[in-house]
Structure 1
Amino acid sequence: MPPEVTRPMTLTPYREALALPGVARLLALSVLARLPSTAAGVSLTLYVVLELDRGYAAAGLVGTALTVGSAIGAPLLGRLVDRHGLRPVILGSVCAQGAFWAVAPALPYRWLLVAAAVAGLAGLPVFSVIRQSLAALVPPAQRRPAYALDSMSVELSFMMGPALAVLLATAVSPRAAMLAVGGGLVAAGALLIAMNPPIRARHEQPPQAGLRIPRRAWLTPRLAGILAVGAASTLVLGGTDVALIAALQESDQLVWTSVVLAAWAGYSLVGGFAYGAARRSVPPVGLMVMLAVATIPVGLGTGSWWLLGLALLPAGLLCAPTIAATSDAVSRLAPAAVRGEAMGLHGSAMTVGMAVGAPLTGAVIDASTPAWGFVAIGCAGLALALPMLVVQLRRPGAGQLLSRLLAVSSW
């Protein structure tokens, strides 16, 4: 194994990244600003099921409408940020979100379905804005630890947001949870407007009025491959989420769901921290292949909650690094003038992957067992990643890529 890969990890990359002006404040804001976004889907689901007295299929349709709207709207909002700046776009999104979440509890189901799609189109672009701003604040050589911290902040938001939504919905009411989500989104938007993080570095010029970079000039096959890796990663994560809940339900251990999910998120945090502190990086496609391979045998742990939690360890360690690596790669490949749109496409790719992975795994589980759900979603992720890995291995430096993959797998 090459000596540069075996050198111990150090906290120096994190210290240097956090010492850059504005980075620590932006990352602290990112955790709070993402909380209401992570709680939105759960709040809508509980409202439809408990308040409107409809089934989970109807609730799923509302969530799908919100997701589809968000996937379409993210790159459009990113383009607006590129051309008009952050504040006008965030202000428009805040108005749309405030209006939707204020009136949603009074809407009949059919109108809620339509309104959710519109709200998704104008969703607060907090995920892509934070990543775009990190690219502006952090030089390319220091972006890996910065995006690792960003990925870990996403994990923290997803650990807290849905749990807070469930707690409020059950302790007070689902309507109260929805109003809280709306208020949180408005507050998050107001914080972003007040902070106004930069979307370009000082040396990066804004696009001239009327001058556009053709999409075909920057949406290269390499960048499209990175977006596909992002979609494949959330495809696997969304499917794993469904499979582990089904496995716990099948073994009559659903009460341990929160413990297993917390362990999975904890593994991801550890993996993200190690990725950001490591001396050398691994390309996103390499991490994606390892994530898919590590997911396939997780089904061997079904039948016991603690065994399932242990089986998630290898795949869990690769979650945050894979997402961080794709964010870093997009920031490097996209020109500054279109970085917002590129980050929006990255967010859309991950949204689509999550939306496809869950029902795909559910269909496999319905036809077989939860254990095969893990196998199916791991193989699906592998099928998406392997062609891109082959392309990567045919480029110069393939030997170095293989050595880094072996180094990571040995951890």
Structure 2
Amino acid sequence: MTALTVLLFLARLPAAGASMVLTLHVVVSLGRGYGQAGLVGAAVTIGMALGSPYLGRVVDRWGLRPMLVLATVGETAFWLAVRHLPYQALLPVAFLGGLVALPVMSVGRQAIAAAAPPDLRRAGYSVDSVASELTWVVSPVVAVVAATRLTPAVATTLLGFAVLVSGSALLWLNPKVRPDSAEPAGSGGVALRTWLTPRLLAVYVIAGGAVFVLSGVDVSLVASLRGSGQLDWTGVAVALTAVASALGGIAYGALRRAPGQLRLMVLLSALIIPAGAFFGGQWWVLALALVPGCAVCAPTVAATGEAVSSLAPPSASGVAAGMQSSAFTTGAALGSPVVGFVLDHTNPGWGFAAAGVGGLLFAVVAWVLARAHRTPAERPGDRVATGASTS
């Protein structure tokens, strides 16, 4: 399990720095604007959202290794081709690159569900969330250094080789992605309609909502520090919030009886809403104001992973994990432009409020879906005290 955790951390590094490298390549190497760079990023995002469930289906039908070969070859080819493409060709190719992007997060969640017994899955998903947070502390910094000290075009090539190494390492390790008691890959799956219940849809809504909030926080943080002339401190502020999230994940993993993911989602959103009001022009004050909300981030994400593994059958774990990745991607794709629109028409403090209110709206939708799933016997208020509970 330790080797798997370390490998998943290293394999996530290329993905965490990809957006930064691609943006700098479009702006610096191709001489385009940030809006056009955003379109390329959106093309990748849409491709990932659509491709993740299908890559998961490949795992369910044929096993992990065929999917890893497909994704590793496909994404490596994309990054090696980027520097040679004009902007007009980059847009459609970026979409194709997103379709076959190496789904490290999905593989990690499936491996944890297969390796950890049910009573230890919360701790496993918490460790995974903490490792994910740490990649966002390290990778963007490395990406910027590579793109500025060398060139963005060279950085895209290096990123391609990093993906190749990551995918090859996962191929070599070949972690188990379904329990021993589950049917082997290719033995016939369960129909989607039998397990994609309103309760599981509520989990996906919460997953997307959590990333919506975090994406909005990132945009608002940059806008706030840029407006106060402290943009150079953005990396430090982001690192502090990531550490807070990691510590929250560790604490959540140690709990024997954890709160439901819906409550975590509401708490995350509610704590983010007033954060901008505490910004008095000093970056560290804003970072400290964000710490309570960000501390709930990793627990919320971990709770959704635990719920997906509990609610989806092992024979469909690949598709289920892929759909969760699509939910994360969709939340990120919505958070930045929605909160960005608010920032364009108000002051930066309202961006945090918009992110939090948006998260509460996601929570309301999840609550409605969860109630629609309950039987009359369940509605008085009893709930299972596991990560699969949405309340």
Corresponding pairs, count: 380
* Structure 2 contact 59–185 (Cα < 8 Å) conserved: no
Q: Which residue of 2 aligns with 1:213?
A: 190
* Structure 2 contact 202–367 (Cα < 8 Å) conserved: no
Which of 77, 92, 103 is the matching residue for 2:70?
Answer: 92
Tell me the alpha carbon deviations over residues 228-277 of structure 1, each in whole angstroms, 9 at most, x when there is no partner: 00000000000010011101111111111111111110100110010001
Relative to structure 1, the CA distance from residue 246 to residue 206 in structure 2 (aligned partners, 3 Å threshold; closer, same or farther) is: same
Which of 52, 56, 61 is the matching residue for 1:74?
Answer: 52
Q: Which residue of 2 aligns with 1:270?
A: 247
* Structure 1 contact 392–398 (Cα < 8 Å) conserved: no
Q: Which residue of 2 aligns with 1:320?
A: 298
Tell me the alpha carbon deviations over residues 347-371 of structure 1, each in whole angstroms, 9 at most, x when there is no partner: 0001000110011001001111111
What is the deviation of 1:59? Answer: 0.7
Q: Quick check: 1:161 aligned with 2:139?
A: yes
SS at match of 1:202: coil
Relative to structure 1, the CA distance from residue 142 to residue 396 in structure 2 (aligned partners, 3 Å threshold; closer, same or farther) is: farther
What code does the residue aligned with 2:104 have?
Answer: V
Partner Cα distance (1:396, 1:270) in 2: 34
Tell me the alpha carbon deviations over residues 138-174 of structure 1, each in whole angstroms, 9 at most, x when there is no partner: 1111100000000001011111111111000111111
What code does the residue aligned with 2:273 have?
Answer: I
Partner Cα distance (2:342, 2:262) in 1: 25
Partner Cα distance (1:47, 1:368) in 2: 30
* Structure 1 contact 286–389 (Cα < 8 Å) conserved: no
Partner Cα distance (1:355, 1:327) in 2: 20
Q: Quick check: 1:62 aligned with 2:40?
A: yes
Counterparts of residues 275-314 of structure 1 (less than 5 Å):
275-302=252-279, 303-314=281-292
Partner Cα distance (2:357, 2:235) in 1: 26
TM-score by length of 2: 0.94
* Structure 2 contact 60–189 (Cα < 8 Å) conserved: no
* Structure 1 contact 86–199 (Cα < 8 Å) conserved: yes
Q: Quick check: 1:383 aligned with 2:341?
A: no
Counterparts of residues 104-183 of structure 1 (less than 5 Å):
104-183=82-161
SS at match of 2:109: helix
* Structure 2 contact 339–355 (Cα < 8 Å) conserved: yes
* Structure 1 contact 282–401 (Cα < 8 Å) conserved: no
What code does the residue aligned with 2:97 have?
Answer: A
Partner Cα distance (1:85, 1:387) in 2: 34
Partner Cα distance (1:399, 1:271) in 2: 26
What code does the residue aligned with 1:306 have?
Answer: W
Partner Cα distance (2:191, 2:369) in 1: 25
What code does the residue aligned with 2:249 have?
Answer: G
Partner Cα distance (1:112, 1:381) in 2: 33
Q: Which residue of 2 aligns with 1:18?
A: none
* Structure 1 contact 74–121 (Cα < 8 Å) conserved: yes
Partner Cα distance (2:284, 2:76) in 1: 42
SS at match of 1:282: coil
Partner Cα distance (1:396, 1:142) in 2: 28
Partner Cα distance (1:146, 1:41) in 2: 27
Partner Cα distance (2:136, 2:49) in 1: 18
What is the deviation of 1:55? Answer: 0.6
* Structure 1 contact 82–339 (Cα < 8 Å) conserved: yes
TM-score by length of 1: 0.89
Partner Cα distance (2:380, 2:322) in 1: 30
* Structure 1 contact 36–181 (Cα < 8 Å) conserved: yes
Partner Cα distance (1:295, 1:270) in 2: 17
Q: Quick check: 1:45 aligned with 2:23?
A: yes
Q: Which residue of 2 aligns with 1:15?
A: none
Partner Cα distance (2:352, 2:289) in 1: 11
What is the deviation of 1:207? Answer: 5.1
Which of 329, 333, 356 is the matching residue for 2:334?
Answer: 356
Q: Which residue of 2 aligns with 1:7?
A: none
* Structure 2 contact 146–155 (Cα < 8 Å) conserved: yes
Partner Cα distance (2:365, 2:36) in 1: 37
SS at match of 1:222: helix
SS at match of 1:312: helix
SS at match of 1:223: helix
Segment drifting more, 393-402 vs 234-243: 393-402
Relative to structure 1, the CA distance from residue 397 to residue 336 in structure 2 (aligned partners, 3 Å threshold; closer, same or farther) is: farther
Tell me the alpha carbon deviations over residues 159-215 of structure 1, each in whole angstroms, 9 at most, x when there is no partner: 111111100011111112111111111100000100000111111122554x33111
Partner Cα distance (1:387, 1:357) in 2: 16
* Structure 1 contact 152–273 (Cα < 8 Å) conserved: yes
* Structure 2 contact 49–329 (Cα < 8 Å) conserved: yes
Q: Which residue of 2 aligns with 1:227?
A: 204
* Structure 1 contact 283–401 (Cα < 8 Å) conserved: no
SS at match of 2:224: helix
SS at match of 1:281: coil
Identical aligned pairs, as a percentage?
A: 43
Segment drifting more, 247-256 vs 355-364: 247-256
Partner Cα distance (1:308, 1:188) in 2: 36
